Structure 1
Amino acid sequence: MTRSRTAPQRTRPRTGSSWMVLTLACACQFMVILDVSIVNVALPSVQRDLGFTATGLAWVVNGYVLTLAGFMLLGGRAVDLFGPRRMLVAGLLLFSASSLVGGLAGAPEILVGARVAQGVGAAMLAPTTLAVINRHFAEPRTRARAFGAWSASGGVGGMAGALAGGAITTGLSWRWVFLVNVPIGAALIVLAMMALVGARASRRGSLDLVGAVTGTAGLAALIYGVMQSADQGWTSVRVLGPAVAGLLLLVLFTVVEARFATQPMVPLRLFTIRTVAVSNGMLLLFGGIAIAMWYFTSLFMQNALGYSALEAGLGQTPAAVTFVVIARFAANLLPRTGVRPLVLAGSACFLAGFGWLGQAHTSSGYVTNVLGPTLFIAVGIGLTFPTLMAAATADVPEGDAGIIGGLANTATQVGGSVALAVFATAASARAGADAAHADSPAALAAGYDLVFLMAAGIGLAVGIVSLLLPQHRPG
């Protein structure tokens, strides 16, 4: 497949100043990613206060992640139909209101319901921020820098969540982990009304209801089934049932979009643009890289090296800072080098970092066996993530900016969810090879080492797939 040569020229929408628009997009992305990580440290306090069971407590996290990934495509198409201003304001209102309900929750089911609603609000915000950048920043150099700042804001959100969650829970209450979103959301609504004045829908029409139902339900069912695999095993009916149902719904969704929908939610013609198709495939793989880096290195430091949650968060801070710096650096390089060189360099960093990290054990030192390899991996993430996001949303008609943002975010979320389940199963099986010592730090370290080596393989795959990209500079 070749690059489309008929994509229309972008016209800059009548909106507020560039710094206001970029600040708004970055702040919304920061808040979405922050809420993925900030809750984790507060979970023990939540369980004690509200009486959650161990299974129910997992849905404080899963409820948010499931709806965030499942509704992203719908949110992306809604941006194109209703406009970025309406979608950002509506998403911020829902996100803030559900945060207020979660912070005041007096029963487990209320908090889980609030987290589900938060995920829907986040699914409205995430693709809208990409669409805003894609529409407002037309010049390749400024557009690349905007994507670098957007990517860095997500990294800062993940880092701040790990640290702020512990500080807020210790100094105030776990309820403020949710309540802090209310004033932030109110301020962002005001900024959205000012920055996006005059920003309208890029296409007219009605929402593809059949596509919306089958696509959203299919993604949600597939991710739900995958989430259960770590506890239930891949052959369990509770895993296979929803996973198979989700795949069948996604097949039906594809048929509807290709044959019957007059205004499809996801126009399949977008996948004839090679940069879109290949970049989304790499973002699917990248989801596994991100999970291995941020989730499993934290587990390794706590369960194998004996660090506290706060110490593990601090231990990841140098890598998070490195990611932020390199993301901005990559944004400056992208207009000059194009996509492929940066992705290949990132792939080499993944191979070196995860290969090194896969040799760690319970007596490993932080500087030599954790800090060094995670800095390599962070450089790789900084080089690849903003580059892939820029490539995945480039060369598309302006009227499809929202759904393209939804596709890119969905690919990353689905890739991360599947990788988490596969990695957790592999680590558990490796640790359980010696049944008598399955829970020992040494056995757990062996399981995590396997995960890191698998992630190195994914890093190699990212580099190989990047060779399918056309040799041009996006924009």
Structure 2
Amino acid sequence: MTTMTTAATVAAPRKARMDSRQKLILTLLLGAQFMLAIDFSILNVALPVVGEGLGFSLTGLQWIATAFALPAAGFTLLFGRVADLAGRHRMLLAGMALLALGSLLGGLATTPALLLAGRVLQGLATAIATPAALSLLTTSFAEGPLRSRALGLSGALMSAGFTAGAVLGGVLTDLLSWRWAFLVNVPVAVAILVATPLVIKESRAAERARLDVPGAVTVTGGLLALVYGITAGNAPALLLAAALLAAFGLIERRAKAPLAPPRVLAKRTVTWGNVGGFVAFATETSLVFLMTLYLQQVLGYSPLVTGLVLGVLGAGTVAGGIAAHRFIARIGGRWTLVSGLVLQAAATAALLGLGETRSSLGLLLIATAVGGFGNLVAIVAFMGVATSGLPDGEQGLATGLATMTQQVAITLGIPVMSAVATARGDVLGGVHAATLVNAGLVLAGAAVVGVFLRTGRTARAVPPR
């Protein structure tokens, strides 16, 4: 890809301005995405307390996370395409309503079954609302500097939401009750439900095609089996996932109105952009798990202090999200994605210097902040690349694919790194081994994307006409 060096192109981000309506739309969509991100991580530090309060067994605690991850990853591609056909505005409202219901049910739960039902509804709400919100964002801002800036802010706020969720979960659990980790969502979801019809107009594909039911069934079943197989370590489920996803590929080639048109999946920007995004999400979220393990089991910090320490990583990601559009404007989406991953890999490798004493805290703070910056630069570039060059009518599909990539990567990353870490006898040695693998995967991802993502137009900030 040719690097943009003309003065007009370099100045493009400064010339582009959002009008007042676009600012309102952006504020609302960022608020929705921030809340969805918080919802993903807010229960992480509270899991032991939740287990004690409702009688979950130690092995049963994983189902609190799995009950969310299954629908969040399994249904996101389907609902991303449904948003294109039925209306993105409508799907965002449906997702917010379902989130409020699931959060209320979880917050008032008196049995494990009720709490898990609430988590399922929250995961389903995420699958509905996240691609709808992202596609509303990409269709509200033309491809170029404004979209890059909007995606940068979106990525920054989503990452801040993941970190804020961990901190907020610790604070609410310590000061009030774990139930507030659920109930805090309800008033925010209701506010978004009220404000959305006043700010955002309906948006859907111009051509009303039929939904590809066979494709929807096979891909959703395949993704559900994949996530279950990963989280439960179930080999038959993984074999079923492979069979269903293979069937999905065959169905899409023959369908008149495919759920995921092969010509879209064959685009280099879509394929390799999502590969880069998968690497970024799988490695950074699993690194947070490793650093949580290190801070609590090696250095002896409490969950609340751990959340506050990891807030520095969150600050780095916010900075990366804000700065990313400037890098995209100057060097293009491909090299921004590669550069972000390389910086993340270098910062992760530095964490191999962590020791058994709290004197290592300074290294952890600096390395995670720098790595978080690189990670969000890569994620913003991935979103720009993976949704570039596609018409508005396919943005729901594109953002659905990107959201699916995110959810499956998060689901896969933590179990893999956990397995590597626990293979060693001591905690610190396990953290070091998993950190080395993590850094190697990021570097390999950067190399693959750099080699194969070759196109003349990968989410570059082109001056508006």
Q: When the two structures are superposed, what TM-score results if normalisation uses the length of structure 1?
A: 0.89
Q: 2:347·2:368 contact (CA, 8 Å) conserved in 1?
A: yes
The aligned residue for residue 54 of structure 1 is 58
Does 2:265 correspond to 1:271? Answer: yes
Out of 352, 358, 362, the position equivalent to 2:352 is 358
For 1:197-208, what aligned pairs fall within 5 Å after superposition? Answer: 197-208=201-212
Does 2:295 correspond to 1:301? Answer: yes
Q: CA 1:50–1:120 in structure 2 vs 1: closer, same or farther (change >3 Å)?
A: same
Out of 387, 394, 402, the position equivalent to 2:388 is 394
How far apart are the structure 2 equivalents of 1:200 and 1:372? 44
Amino acid at match of 1:171: L
Amino acid at match of 1:463: A
Amino acid at match of 2:440: G
Out of 297, 311, 320, the position equivalent to 1:317 is 311
Does 2:428 correspond to 1:445? Answer: yes
Out of 415, 422, 429, the position equivalent to 1:428 is 422
For 1:457-472, what aligned pairs fall within 5 Å after superposition? Answer: 457-467=440-450, 468-469=452-453, 470-472=455-457
How far apart are the structure 2 equivalents of 1:16 and 1:329? 22
Out of 169, 173, 182, the position equivalent to 1:169 is 173
The aligned residue for residue 474 of structure 1 is 459
Q: CA 1:61–1:473 in structure 2 vs 1: closer, same or farther (change >3 Å)?
A: closer
The aligned residue for residue 454 of structure 1 is 437
How far apart are the structure 2 equivalents of 1:473 and 1:210? 32
**1:278 CA displacement:** 0.9
For 1:97-136, what aligned pairs fall within 5 Å after superposition? Answer: 97-136=101-140
How far apart are the structure 2 equivalents of 1:215 and 1:139? 29
How far apart are the structure 2 equivalents of 1:297 and 1:459? 17
Amino acid at match of 1:323: T
Out of 244, 250, 269, the position equivalent to 2:245 is 250
Deviations 1:144-197 (A, max 9, x none): 000001001111111211111111122222111111111100110122111222
How far apart are the structure 2 equivalents of 1:45 and 1:421? 22
Amino acid at match of 1:419: G
- Is the partner of 2:155 in helix, strand or coil? helix
Q: 1:16·1:196 contact (CA, 8 Å) conserved in 2?
A: no
Does 2:153 correspond to 1:158? Answer: no
Amino acid at match of 1:452: T
Amino acid at match of 2:100: S
How far apart are the structure 2 equivalents of 1:46 and 1:406? 31
Q: CA 1:323–1:111 in structure 2 vs 1: closer, same or farther (change >3 Å)?
A: same
How far apart are the structure 1 equivalents of 2:83 and 2:202? 14
**1:139 CA displacement:** 4.8
Does 2:432 correspond to 1:419? Answer: no
Amino acid at match of 1:427: A
Q: When the two structures are superposed, what TM-score results if normalisation uses the length of structure 2?
A: 0.91
Q: Once superposed, which parts of structure 1, at least 4 consecutive aligned residues long, lie more than 4 Å away? A: none
Amino acid at match of 1:272: A
How far apart are the structure 2 equivalents of 1:324 and 1:78? 31
Stretches of structure 1 that go unaligned for 5 or more consecutive residues are: 1-14, 230-238, 432-442
**1:252 CA displacement:** 0.8
Amino acid at match of 2:94: A
Q: 2:33·2:133 contact (CA, 8 Å) conserved in 1?
A: yes
The aligned residue for residue 439 of structure 1 is none
**1:16 CA displacement:** 8.7
Q: CA 1:399–1:296 in structure 2 vs 1: closer, same or farther (change >3 Å)?
A: same
Q: CA 1:381–1:41 in structure 2 vs 1: closer, same or farther (change >3 Å)?
A: same
Q: 1:218·1:247 contact (CA, 8 Å) conserved in 2?
A: yes
Q: How many residues are treated as equivalent by the alignment?
A: 440
Amino acid at match of 2:317: F
Out of 404, 407, 411, the position equivalent to 1:410 is 404
Deviations 1:10-47 (A, max 9, x none): xxxxx991012111221121111111111122222322
**1:321 CA displacement:** 0.7
Stretches of structure 2 that go unaligned for 5 or more consecutive residues are: 1-18, 461-465
